[in-house]
Amino acid sequence: MVRIVGGGLAGSEAAWQIASRGVPVSLHEMRPVRSTAAHRTDRLAELVCSNSFRGASLENAVGLLKEEMRRLGSLVMRVGDETRVPAGSALAVDRERFAKGVTEALEAEPLITIRREEVRRIPEASNREPVIVATGPLTSPDLAAELTALVGREQLYFFDAISPIVHADSIDRSKVFRASRRGRKERAAEPRVGRTCGAASEEEGDYLNCPLTAAEYERFHAALTTAELAELHDFDRTPFFEGCLPIEVMAHRGVDTLRFGPMKPVGLTDPATGRQPYAVVQLRQDDLAADHFSLVGFQTQLRWPEQRRVLRMIPGLEQAEFVRLGTIHRNTYVNAPSVLAPTWQTRNRPGLFIAGQVSGVEGYVESAASGLVAGLNAAALAAGEEPRVPPRTTALGALAHYVSHADPSHYQPTNIAFGLIPTVADAPRGRQARRRAAAQRALADLAAWCDAEPVAAVGARADART
């Protein structure tokens, strides 16, 4: 038996991997008994921020990570592929159908028992009965205190922000245009009906784009930098994660910062002018019905009345109705290099694993990936086998190596990147060619690693359930 605390992406993936190896699982999720400031439902694997799993290509490190997970029978990737929505060269999902799909799959698995209760203390763990803590960045105070005691130092943290979502019917279609950057589309979907903001047709891109002139951008920037912020405790020492900065924080770094970030117009041509806009706000489809669109990269800590006022200055959003406004929340994580081994086991208690964002990774896919490896190793322990780590030449192995070997005195959670993967000897010239070579080597090394141990059967067993 393996006990898992937390039913987010990491906990859900870990439970699936463990059950796929024939080991019983007890999965504890505190919602709906106790909710959080960011969650809206009681479903497992609920996405509380963006609906994007980021790049899908093997020339993108997160695309490679996703493909490795698919080859190991990942539930998160299977359901993600089944619930994808148009998002250019990225993988984005219908967040409600995604969580529903993961929840139903886990509920239907006879080896998984889901317990809706808050776990206030870290359960006793042993090699025969391992425990995985995957409580996510919104770990409850009691369990966070337990983690602090386990780590032996003050808990690290940073603040994270959530992007707003608007009703499709409230977008002024006369002022926006549909296109993917540089014409890239992920797939065609059903054609739109009339002038509604429906799914993309074959001739169009996957994003709605709100173009701004120089004057409109300057007015928007001025409003953004003078808007009132929501009150935060300990705000004066808030360490934001650089990969998910609030737009107002970026705006304060310089007048053109947003134009080189989430509002960059590169690769887009406004059909009304035939030219590249001065700046652009992209809206990404958030559900399969195309009823909701999220503002890409527009996570914010502005007060809600200020969000409505400032965001309605964006062309096309003057009458926007918001499904959800942006929020800010505290993300908790441990100093992974001082706590974890590459297997995601804690160094001082081998029967205890920590996975997901609380383990010190950043991103949906990275969180699920840590749960996948932790699940495989917890199942191995329970079966009397030795834990193993994918080769460092793989994205899975490179992420595990970074988390367990980074400098603990300057540690910050990170997304997977090719910079974490050892370079290929005699690599071809050109960045994309080098990345393709690294991806090919990674998948070959992963296959060899799987063939070496019973882990190879995991994917086959998981596929047999679908």
Question: How do residues 75-134 score in pLDDT, each as one tens digit?
Answer: 999 999 999 998 888 999 999 999 999 999 999 999 999 999 988 888 899 999 999 999
pLDDT, residue 245, reads: 81
Most confident of 49-53, 181-185, 241-245, 305-309: 305-309
Average pLDDT of the chain to the nearest whole number = 85
Confidence class for position 201, pLDDT limits 50, 70, 90: very low
pLDDT for 457 beyond 50: no
2-158+332-460 has which CATH code? 3.50.50.60
**261 or 143: whose pLDDT is higher?**
261
Confidence class for position 327, pLDDT limits 50, 70, 90: confident
pLDDT for 290 beyond 70: yes
- Per residue, the 3-state secondary structure of the chain, as one string, reads CEEEECCCHHHHHHHHHHHHCCCCEEEEECCCCCCCCCCCCCCCCCCCCCCEEEECCCCCHHHHHHHHHHHCCCHHHHHHHHCEECCCCEEEECHHHHHHHHHHHHHHCCCEEEEECCCCCCCCCCCCCCEEECCCCCCCHHHHHHHHHHHCCCCEEEEEECCCEEEHHHCCCCCCEECCHHHCCCCCCCCCCCCCCCCCCCCCCCEEEEEECHHHHHHHHHHHHHCCECCCCCHHHCCCCHHHCCHHHHHCCCCCCHHHCCCCCCCCCECCCCECCCEEEEEEECCCCCCEEEECCCCCCECHHHHHHHHCCCCCCCCCCEEECCCEEEEEECCHHHHECCCCEECCCCCEEECCHHHCECCHHHHHHHHHHHHHHHHHHHCCCCCCCCCCCCHHHHHHHHHHHCCHHHCCCECCCHHHCCCCCCCCCCHHHHHHHHHHHHHHHHHHHHHHCCCHHHHHHHHHCC
**409 or 296: whose pLDDT is higher?**
296
**30 or 231: whose pLDDT is higher?**
30
pLDDT for 40 beyond 80: no
Domain assignments of the chain as residue spans, ordered by start: 2-158+332-460, 165-326
pLDDT for 202 beyond 60: no
Domain 165-326 has CATH 2.40.30.260: yes
Q: Is the pTM of this model over 0.95?
A: no
pLDDT, residue 454, reads: 54
pLDDT, residue 143, reads: 79
pLDDT digits (tens, 9 = 90+) for 146-162: 777 777 655 556 666 77
pLDDT for 390 beyond 50: yes
Confidence class for position 242, pLDDT limits 50, 70, 90: low
pLDDT, residue 159, reads: 65
Give the whole-number percent of the chain exceeding pLDDT 90.
Answer: 60
pLDDT for 3 beyond 70: yes
pLDDT for 188 beyond 60: no
pLDDT for 444 beyond 90: yes
